[in-house]
Structure 1
Amino acid sequence: MKLYMVPLAPNPVKVMLYMAEREAMGVSFGIEHIVINTHKGLHKTPEHLARNPFGALPVLELADGVYIRESRAIIDYLEDAFADKPLFSKDLTQRAQQRDMERICDVRLAEYLGVWVHVYNSPIGLPPDPERAEALHERMLPAFTFLNDVLADGRDFVCGDAPSPADCTLQAFLNFMRFTGENLIAPYPHLTRWDDSYRSRPVIAAIIQP
């Protein structure tokens, strides 16, 4: 299998963090990582558009040539294809809670945060839009408050005492935020504690920016 990706972009990083968590548990994926240089526009070449007509990353190419084009679908595929030592709980209720939290991190926060980065201080040089950035920040406030409250009990991970894909999604986008030089989570002490703790783990620190 091949994973087409670009380092530091949030959705590829989400998948890379997930894979790193599984590999730390002893899972061996044997997946080749292929970097697509988006700064040079290589994600818009006919070759890549044949993999993903939307020009987005990551893309997982299976051994039989099938492409999986969405980060959460890639995670779900790897979770099922390498079922030993899963990151999702085997307990039905706990697994549902983990999926719930991952969706909250993605839909209630990451969707806004990913756009906010580019209209606040884009790492690829897009023009700033302060008014839109402020509106997007307002949309993120309920999720920041919710996550801060969840983490107030001192837990090490979003869903309790073990990592889950929710941690991967949340960290991938907070890591992307750091490229702007702005820290939107500074007012949230419990979320900040989790962020500092999670990204300091060697398995995670090897992937994200300092």
Structure 2
Amino acid sequence: MAPTLTGVASNARVQRIRAVAALAGVELNYDDSFTFASDWKNEEFLKKNPFGFLPVLELEDGTVLRESGAIAEYVAELGPNSTLIPSDIKEKAQVHAYQCTADQEIHIPGGIVTGQMNGRYPYNKAVQQTIIDKINSRVAVLDQILLNSTFLVGERITLADIFIVTSLLNIFYSWYDASLRAKYPNVVRLVETVTKNPKLAPVFSKAPQFVEKFPSPPAPAKEKKAEKPKAEAAPKAPKAPKAKEPEDEEEEPLVPAEPKVKNPLDDLPKSAFNLEEWKRQYSNLDTRTGALPWFYEKFDKDGFSIWKVDFKYNDELTAVFMSNNQIGGFFNRLEASRKYLFGSVGVLGKANDSLITGILILRGQDVKPVVEVAPDYESYEYKRIDLENAEDKSFFEGALAWDLVVDGKEWADGKNFK
């Protein structure tokens, strides 16, 4: 008896398992008519799979496998002479790395963007753009890898290609529009090569069209007008709560709601240094001849402090524009501290030989209360700058003027947080 796969045909996680089975020559029992409206999340199902997620694969002996990665690997191993998982242990590890990239760097964050567009998650433009920039940076890396190769690992389709392609399809169908896809022709070629493979075409035959234009953000909910009070009616028997339509992966809210608390920075003694005015001076005057003299005249070293900020993982940086997106993402996540913070951070060097560094001017004498609003703040190192020190002062002025040079690396691009 063949293993039984349960899941919705259009779901990327189901498609990857069916694609693996098709290439490996493994027969699966599968019901194409299955939908989320089907009666599947019942007591019997939850006994077999207490997590309650789809897809699942039930084996002949009653064992139930969950998680598409584990199921796909199991099915691939069943196939006679299957090359979906390389026998070479280094290549096998490379394949598994791409499986992780597909889920963690494309599928899950891409689903958050989709969820914001369809109302499943609260819409936040800054959060959405940060996620899109991150996904674009990963797709750009894949495009470079595929510049001189047909597949990601070796000369044949592996789980690496199937997982990356199914994760990309998830966003190509919903919001990753034609203008974005046009930037990465090698990635699009991989998608077409996999989906049009004769053995795989039936798996993707009922797929929707790729989206051509980025969808408009959801309209903000309108406030309901206050209704006139009505005469009290006789109490009715309470209705049973409407059942929520099950989903393949019911997730916790992306950001749990937290009670608003007063920021302790607001309780610091008043300062004569006006940070908002500094931002205007910096924006409107020449940095070295106008903005810096104003700053030195007005700066309150007791109410504010200056910090050098360095990215910890410069060895992972590739293209300059991608590194600049990294800065933009960090700044977006600092939004909650905008009233307490100014920043000038840049990329110094060239592609594959660069670093991220710069300065922050912030309220108070401790950097942590200001930067910890960004989940990735620990990806950076912070060192207090002393303007009485000539080297520190030179670094500070160079970072503001965007002409900073560090270890022979010249300022290539940058962003301000204002």
Structure 1 contact 42–48 (Cα < 8 Å) conserved = no
- Across the aligned residues of Structure 1 and Structure 2, the Cα RMSD in angstroms comes to 2.4
Q: Secondary structure at the match of 1:30?
A: coil
| Bigger CA radius of gyration | 2
Match of 1:148 among 143, 152, 159: 143
In the alignment, is residue 138 of structure 1 matched against residue 133 of structure 2? yes
In the alignment, is residue 177 of structure 1 matched against residue 174 of structure 2? no
Structure-to-structure mapping, 1:84-163, within 5 angstroms: 84-120=81-117, 122=118, 126=120, 129=123, 131=125, 132-153=127-148, 155-163=149-157
Structure-to-structure mapping, 1:61-72, within 5 angstroms: 61-72=58-69
Amino acid at match of 1:107: Q
Q: Secondary structure at the match of 1:207?
A: helix
Structure 2 contact 20–75 (Cα < 8 Å) conserved = no
Deviation per CA, 1:61-113: give whole Å up to 9, x if none.
11111111111111222233445324111122222222222222222222212
Structure 2 contact 24–76 (Cα < 8 Å) conserved = no
Structure-to-structure mapping, 1:15-30, within 5 angstroms: 15-23=17-25, 29-30=26-27
Q: Secondary structure at the match of 2:173?
A: helix
| Residue of structure 1 equivalent to 2:46 | 49
Structure 1 contact 105–143 (Cα < 8 Å) conserved = no
Amino acid at match of 1:197: T
**How many Å apart are 1:58 and its aligned residue?**
1.0
| Residue of structure 2 equivalent to 1:26 | none
Take 1:174 and 1:148, find their aligned partners in 2: how far apart are those partners?
A: 12
Take 1:85 and 1:61, find their aligned partners in 2: how far apart are those partners?
A: 21
Take 1:161 and 1:175, find their aligned partners in 2: how far apart are those partners?
A: 22
Structure 1 contact 68–74 (Cα < 8 Å) conserved = yes
Q: Percent identity?
A: 23
**How many Å apart are 1:166 and its aligned residue?**
1.1
**How many Å apart are 1:59 and its aligned residue?**
0.2
Amino acid at match of 2:35: N
Structure 1 contact 51–59 (Cα < 8 Å) conserved = no
Which structure's residues are more often strand, by fraction? 2
- Name structure 1 gaps, 5 residues minimum: 24-28
Task: Summarize the Cα distance change of 1:34–1:109 in structure 2 as closer, same or farther, 3 Å threshold.
Answer: same
**How many Å apart are 1:150 and its aligned residue?**
0.4
Structure 2 contact 165–190 (Cα < 8 Å) conserved = no
Asked which structure has the greater RCO (Cα within 8 Å, sep 6+), the reply is 1
Task: Summarize the Cα distance change of 1:128–1:180 in structure 2 as closer, same or farther, 3 Å threshold.
Answer: farther
Q: Secondary structure at the match of 1:3?
A: strand
Match of 1:10 among 1, 4, 12: 12
Question: In the comparison of the two structures, how many residue pairs are matched?
Answer: 200
Take 2:120 and 2:21, find their aligned partners in 1: how far apart are those partners?
A: 30
Structure 1 contact 17–207 (Cα < 8 Å) conserved = yes
| Residue of structure 2 equivalent to 1:195 | 191
Structure 1 contact 110–173 (Cα < 8 Å) conserved = yes
Take 2:27 and 2:192, find their aligned partners in 1: how far apart are those partners?
A: 30
Take 1:14 and 1:64, find their aligned partners in 2: how far apart are those partners?
A: 24
Which structure's residues are more often helix, by fraction? 1
- Name structure 2 gaps, 5 residues minimum: 210-418
Structure-to-structure mapping, 1:71-86, within 5 angstroms: 71-82=68-79, 84-86=81-83
